[in-house]
Amino acid sequence: MNAIGYYNGTIGALDEIKIPLLDRAVYFGDGCYEACFVQNKKAFELEAHLDRFERSMALLKIVPPKSREALKTALSDCMAAYGPDTGLLYWQCSRGTAKRQHNFPDASVPSNLAIMITPKPRPEAHGTVRLMTAKDIRFTMCNVKTLNLLPNVLINQQATEQGYDEAIFVRDGIVTECTHSNVHLLKDGALWTHPTDRYILPGITRMGLIGICNALGVPVREEPFPKEALFTADEVLISASGAGVRSATEIDGAPVGGKATALLHLLQDEYDRKLTEETRA
């Protein structure tokens, strides 16, 4: 099958899977999710994604729907049923199915697990993007991979309508992250990235990029940087599980980057090599 769906043990074609209207994900977005790239029926960086999924559930006080090993089995079953060579594996957990009220349902109500795999091409090794900046209008739980993404959706749509690929959030003059990516700078031979506080999601690809820098001896500075730094950086990068590591050619209509292409391509090539090795057939 070209698109797989799963809900609480039922697996099949994605467009045939049904979710109850009283699932708290439907009316509150009361849950969290993860997504990772799949190639040759292998999920890239799966253990790191599971670690973050467990952290998100703990921060939201949601009881896991399955043990870690049982969840891995469910994900494997979905990958086994999926036809194409590459795709995006997505899973989410909601607090359960119960009548609409703000307080948590009774402890006897189990959480719900939904999974889907949809076609997604392999990220380009040297992909590029056009970016815009926007005021960060989100709340202060950005470190949780929550289902509540309406601010991200609105700003991403604004970027699309203006002809950009992504939008960079700026909060009180400081760059945080993008609508569905982390953002970084290359400056004077070092990687600069916002620290993992409540204003950004601790990205798995971000973590992998830092690991690559550490292995290569590239200095990493995890500290806030202002919007103005985007336009004076040697390179601007964004990273995401579904799209890899891409460099910006333009921000708010102004050209950026192009000053450290050798280091940029080295980091991108190392990420691409790692992806190949960990998802080899």
Active site residues: 145
The tokens describing 7, both together, are 């809900």
Two tokens at 94?
């909601």
* β-pair type (244-251, 128-135): parallel
Q: Which residue has the tokens 């899977």?
A: 17
42 SS3 class: strand
Give per-residue burial for 60-79: e unless 16+ CB within 10 Å, then b.
bebebbbeeeebeebbeebb
Decide the pairing of beta strands 254-255 and 182-187.
Answer: unpaired
How many Å is the maximal CA-CA distance in the chain? 58
Contacts of residues 14-17 at CB distance under 8 Å and 24 or more positions apart, as own/partner, are 14/116, 14/118, 17/114, 17/116
- CA-to-CA distance for 208 and 148, rounded, in angstroms? 25
254: its two tokens: 């102004």
Q: From the CB of residue 153, how many other CB atoms can be counted at a distance below 10 Å?
A: 11
CB-CB neighbours of 124 under 10 Å: 13
